[in-house]
Structure 1
């Protein structure tokens, strides 16, 4: 049988992105010896200097430095070697979708092969990556058993506990949100529960199966996608009948059973535009889940149509998009609505410019557009401006620079409408256009 104290001594965290590094640092500051594994040599080198490669994650720098000083956190590119020294393995490697909406397993499949190479008897493997229901057991558990030669549920243990955190507040969320835990069998679940109690000191929700735990995480994301799609649908309707959506939300949400999300130009990131396809590809091809995906992805076109109503043809027009990131104050372009905007604007033969204080010029150029500093005199040549991500830097945006601008499309309903209109620039938004002008 497993000695619990030895089991909980050494932990390998596979995948040192925002969530993986934060988990590793938290574990390392809670009396565990943690080996972090990542394929990026630069990430590994930075962590082994006691520094975090992740920015805008409050408290993470301090946790990494403290773990480095106490010699409880180190990093390596050799996953199998790290796993061989550990009794518990946490897998937090990305699973995405490709351009045809098929699940892209390339990174996590490669990680699983390396984990299997290093596994020994009594190893507990916990997957935290959001994945389609059934994958923990039938894809990854099966592969671990096949490659390691160890019997699943008897000679090694398997659990699933989805990450449920939000960028810029991961450490806070790890304390606040209950950890959902499911196992291949009772022993697996018990071992995972015991680990998280000591490693995170958070509330736990034990569920009856791996599939229940997997399904619960995807369902959370589908709920948000559907709710946002509903808000966008209602926002478009308010514009037709001359009602302000922000007022509607405030009034409706005063009822405790109503929680309308904020409408907007679209959704992005690793979660909402991706995880619903984990259900859709499993057979949920009709109903609100696929419909919500279509509605939310159509909002970029809807926004550009608003710009065209004011400017006319966008051929050879200068259009500035504020925010490459998928949301405010996070340096993450994955599935950003800006990418949809860029694609459509290029097809319309517009001159596309992007400003984002979180990205370098070279990073922005990778998307086939021109970076534009807000201090540049060329801001005076912009014909239209679209706000996609309301970074803190945009709170004090000086609109007087946009002397040729005919329209500012506020895709997040955050800008000062009155200030923009005083400058003679048309203000348009998602559900909050000036009613008097439209009646």
Structure 2
């Protein structure tokens, strides 16, 4: 099994990526930019058509880069999984959501693996990048792939390398973010590391097994989940005590060691932080273990949209307004600032809580003109006008986009509930209340 390393070194290897979303498309682009012929696989026709036309739909991908590599023939996309047969390395980058019972839904990983099996060949590398519970690569993926008749570690290589994508991050992208790789065997690890080293500018950190790499990814995001749960709980307490918790955090981060700043908010969003702890707590039950600290933070964070709706109701009450029938303007439905990604967005959960109380909710987001919730498309306001702001009984800031004029909002709003401290630089604050 030496040929694959030689192909990676001389860049004659053909690389594949299954799943052309926020993780897969940037990875496929970097593979092609590194000089490898790359094939992207997806079941959604519109993505295939857009990629093959050189048209981008992911914020972290540069339009010109995509157009150039497609025209050069280095990148193509298809729904035809039989083309896996021509690939030397395949990375699986498909969604791993939670089902209705808050348990891991690994059906996309499973179906991707099953799609690969008929077209596997010797000396092939397969890497799972989708975030999942520890044990997935060895317990789920390996047995499926070995149905091909090929033996893992002997006939083909298998590894796990967690995706580390932070949409909207202006410094760290796919190319310069360090990679963690854990293979079934040391040789599997080496081959997977060789692939990433031939593509990325960042270092590759090798670990002893896929399970270590899987747990590492869970640790990254659970660390953030727990700390955000802590500050959310303290923010609720500080509000009861009449203390500005945002000022508390700013004071604490003046310490040059032993403290990392985390901030409260209306809940957690994105495809990792709100979901990863559920993977771990689900797997832990197999061992009769309860992740008590993690589960406590999840309870706090999951409660924040409801808490924000309760706070909004109290603000309206001061103006002798009931939530029922009040017009509320939501500023921002993306899950974080300056991006168009609204997956698991807490803002959408806040809207749902407000609507439960019969509020009339409208939203404005300069990055998200429409969003889809349970198959229903919701349209935002096209422009943030003085008339729109003045018509609202309450404005709630749920995403701190930097291209919103918060001074203008303050000037025209009756009342503002700022859950992200987006208006911290606005000097006139008589109508602003912080989370």
Give 1:21's match in structure 2, choosing from 17, 22, 25. 25
Q: Kindly indicate whether the alpha-carbon contact (under 8 Å) linking 1:322 and 1:389 is maintained by their aligned counterparts in 2.
A: yes
How far did residue 235 of structure 1 move? 1.9
> How does the TM-score come out when normalised to structure 1?
0.90
| Pair 1:400–1:188, CA change in 2 (3 A) | closer
Q: Which residue of 2 aligns with 1:357?
A: 366
SS of 1:298 mapped into structure 2:
helix
Aligned mates of 1:10, 1:52 — CA distance in 2 = 22
Q: Which residue of 2 aligns with 1:266?
A: 267
Q: What are structure 2's unaligned runs of at least 5 residues? A: none
Q: Which residue of 2 aligns with 1:223?
A: 223
SS of 1:97 mapped into structure 2:
coil
Root mean square deviation of aligned Cα: 2.3
Asked if 1:73 corresponds to 2:75, the answer is yes
Q: Which residue of 1 aligns with 2:199?
A: 199
**Correspondence list, 1:229-240, <5 A:** 229-240=229-240
SS of 2:23 mapped into structure 1:
helix
Asked if 1:392 corresponds to 2:402, the answer is yes
**Correspondence list, 1:7-406, <5 A:** 9-54=13-58, 56-57=59-60, 60-79=62-81, 81-146=82-147, 148-169=148-169, 172-255=172-255, 256-283=257-284, 285-312=290-317, 313-361=322-370, 363=372, 371-373=380-382, 374-375=384-385, 377-396=387-406, 398-399=408-409, 402=412, 405=414
Q: Kindly indicate whether the alpha-carbon contact (under 8 Å) linking 2:338 and 2:402 is maintained by their aligned counterparts in 1.
A: yes
Q: Deviations over 1:97-140 (max 9, x none)?
A: 02320111232222111111221112110111111100011111
Q: Kindly indicate whether the alpha-carbon contact (under 8 Å) linking 2:84 and 2:119 is maintained by their aligned counterparts in 1.
A: yes
How far did residue 320 of structure 1 move? 1.5
Aligned mates of 2:186, 2:371 — CA distance in 1 = 51
| Pair 1:259–1:233, CA change in 2 (3 A) | same
> How does the TM-score come out when normalised to structure 2?
0.90
Give 2:423's match in structure 1, choosing from 381, 401, 415. 415
Q: Deviations over 1:153-174 (max 9, x none)?
A: 2111100111112112388333
Aligned mates of 2:419, 2:293 — CA distance in 1 = 23
Aligned mates of 1:127, 1:171 — CA distance in 2 = 25
Aligned mates of 2:197, 2:342 — CA distance in 1 = 34
Tell me the matched-pair count: 421
Q: Deviations over 1:333-381 (max 9, x none)?
A: 2111122212211221111212222233575896576633423845432
| Pair 1:235–1:274, CA change in 2 (3 A) | same
Q: Kindly indicate whether the alpha-carbon contact (under 8 Å) linking 1:37 and 1:77 is maintained by their aligned counterparts in 2.
A: yes
Aligned mates of 2:375, 2:402 — CA distance in 1 = 24
Aligned mates of 1:188, 1:363 — CA distance in 2 = 40
How far did residue 402 of structure 1 move? 4.3
| Pair 1:192–1:171, CA change in 2 (3 A) | farther
Q: Which runs of 4+ in 1 moved over 4 A?
A: 361-370, 400-403, 416-420
SS of 2:405 mapped into structure 1:
helix
Q: Kindly indicate whether the alpha-carbon contact (under 8 Å) linking 1:96 and 1:274 is maintained by their aligned counterparts in 2.
A: yes
Q: What are structure 1's unaligned runs of at least 5 residues? A: 431-439
Aligned mates of 1:354, 1:246 — CA distance in 2 = 25
